[in-house]
Amino acid sequence: MSPALDLEKTLATLRPILWQALEQLRQFYRQVQELTVQDKGGDPVTLADQTIDAFLRHALQGYFPASQFGYLTEETYTPGQPLPQPYQWIIDPLDGTYDFLQQTGEYAIHVALVHDHRPCLAAVAWPEQEVIYTAIAGAGTYRETRWASTQLRVQPPNEGRPLRVVMSRSHSGERLQAFLSTLGVIQQIPMGSMGCKTASICQGDADLYVNLTGRSAPKDWDLAAPDLIMQEAGGAFTYANGELPRYNRADVQHWPPLVVCHPALSRRLGDRLQAFFRRESRLFWKIGKFSRTKDRAWFLIGFDASFGGSGEEPSPAAETPTESPPPESTEPTTESTASPSILNWAKTALQSIQARQQSESAATVETPEASQKTPADSPVSVSEESEKTAVADSAPAQPVVEAEPVEPNPPPCSQ
């Protein structure tokens, strides 16, 4: 058993440290043109990130020793096993680095204290608003200035106005737009940091945030603090199937689609997302929009991990796959109804594809003219008989995709 922790006292200790970090980050913000930007795994990192990270860790370690408190931060994380300490500080010293560099004002500091894989204390500092949002499990969410503190409660959307959706400037895309188009009339509000998005919903400036993931997935330090801020304000911060995110696992990435909004809206959106993923997966399998490997990877991570799908192709009779992930294990898992080997294979496949995706255009779908070519003219041909059968049955012919370098073979199925 881990020792009990006085969370009110812990927050009182954290508060002045966070105000100091906020002021330091604002100073960097006013000199942003002088900062050198480095690349860290495809994400920008600056001296501001590194300085605030070091300040927060050293300040907190003076009160919360490493024997009882682990430290998981964006700038110091190395892949491995979960931290063994009973409590873990999960820190993002600068969430929204792109917006920080572009000087939109929408960047934040995230600090969360996690116990048993869930945050029990959280703070999100929004430097340009000079505000800190704080939450303790079971005690509510507060918007704090230097002089006052106001409790926040998430309000349901106003039926008389468009749904206000906050969305990233740097992580949007056609896939998200396709889903948003199913929601009717909406107002899109570009915004940077995840903490800023969540705070905007909590204080009534927006209604919804949806993350479908894609080339990358949000990490523990992106989500842990905003998660508790939203939950304690009476909102929903869940995967699309309603499950709560869990932190300090072996994998810090969160691949399932994420929904942040009022609980009543969350339940409706979960159904819409489930329908969207099923329709999307059927389309991908039928027309071969992506390569087989990529299609299966998206399907397994985006659908199976979120909705407990079988890990099988939606229409098994439509084709006989020559490359497929391992059959799902019958062994129960704690994180998902999908087999860990299936999800690990899918993640590995996506990671191997990411290096090519920056220069990769949309995959070519065979045109009617191309289908008339003879086998000598085309690497793949479709017979007239199969075309007639496909039309008659309203089932597209075998999907045609461009050849890609061989992806990692899926692991053998678990017994």
Q: Would you list the domain boundaries of the chain? A: 7-152, 163-271, 290-365
- For residue 172, the model assigns a pLDDT of 67
- For residue 270, the model assigns a pLDDT of 78
- For residue 25, the model assigns a pLDDT of 96
- Class of residue 32 by CB neighbours under 10 A (exposed 0-12, middle 13-18, buried 19+): middle
- For residue 274, the model assigns a pLDDT of 78
Instruction: Report residue 187's pLDDT band, with 50, 70 and 90 as the boundaries.
Output: very high
- CA distances (Å), origin 217, targets 182, 252, 265: 23, 9, 23
- For residue 344, the model assigns a pLDDT of 56
- For residue 298, the model assigns a pLDDT of 55
124 within 8 A of 227, measured Cβ to Cβ:
no
- For residue 230, the model assigns a pLDDT of 98
- For residue 127, the model assigns a pLDDT of 96
Q: How would you classify the pairing of strands 186-190 and 236-239?
A: unpaired
131 within 8 A of 144, measured Cβ to Cβ:
yes
Instruction: Report residue 268's pLDDT band, with 50, 70 and 90 as the boundaries.
Output: confident
**Residue bearing tokens 């960047």:** 107
Length of the chain (residues):
415
Give the count of alpha carbons within 13 A of 401, CB side only. Answer: 18
Q: How far is CA 389 from the centre of its chain?
A: 41
Q: Examine the pLDDT at 371 and tell me if it is beyond 80.
A: no
The CATH fold of domain 7-152: Fructose-1,6-Bisphosphatase; Chain A, domain 1 (3.30.540)
Q: Examine the pLDDT at 262 and tell me if it is beyond 70.
A: yes
Q: Examine the pLDDT at 185 and tell me if it is beyond 60.
A: yes
pLDDT digits (tens, 9 = 90+) for 285-341: 554 444 455 555 555 555 544 444 433 333 333 333 334 444 433 333 333 334 444
3-state secondary structure at position 217: coil
3-state secondary structure at position 263: helix
**Cα–Cα dist 48/140, whole Å:** 31
Task: Report CA torsion sign: 271, 273, 276, 277.
Answer: negative
**195 CB-near residues (< 8 Å, 6+ apart):** 95, 96, 108, 109, 110, 124, 125, 126, 133, 225, 226, 229
* CA–CA–CA angle 164, 202, 198 (5° rounding): 75
What are residue 133's DSSP bridge partners? 124, 143
pLDDT digits (tens, 9 = 90+) for 71-119: 999 888 888 889 999 999 999 999 998 899 999 999 999 999 999 999 9
| Tokens describing residue 174 | 């056609």
- Of the two residues 300 and 28, the one the predictor is more confident about is 28
3-state secondary structure at position 303: helix
Instruction: Report residue 283's pLDDT band, with 50, 70 and 90 as the boundaries.
Output: low
- Class of residue 401 by CB neighbours under 10 A (exposed 0-12, middle 13-18, buried 19+): buried
Residue among 406, 407, 399 nearest 285 (CA): 399
- For residue 184, the model assigns a pLDDT of 86
Q: Which CATH class is domain 163-271?
A: alpha beta
pLDDT digits (tens, 9 = 90+) for 141-160: 999 999 999 999 999 998 88
- For residue 191, the model assigns a pLDDT of 93
- For residue 173, the model assigns a pLDDT of 74
**Cα–Cα dist 143/132, whole Å:** 6
- CA distances (Å), origin 282, targets 241, 312, 401: 19, 11, 16
- For residue 343, the model assigns a pLDDT of 53
- For residue 301, the model assigns a pLDDT of 56
Instruction: Report residue 389's pLDDT band, with 50, 70 and 90 as the boundaries.
Output: very low
294 within 8 A of 408, measured Cβ to Cβ:
no
Of 54-63, 101-110, 220-229, 371-380, the one with minimum mean pLDDT is 371-380
Task: Report CA torsion sign: 350, 353, 355, 358.
Answer: negative
Task: Report CA torsion sign: 267, 272, 275, 280.
Answer: negative
Chain mean pLDDT for the chain: 76
Q: What is the pTM of this model?
A: 0.70
- For residue 125, the model assigns a pLDDT of 98
- CA distances (Å), origin 245, targets 3, 124, 158, 172: 24, 18, 27, 21
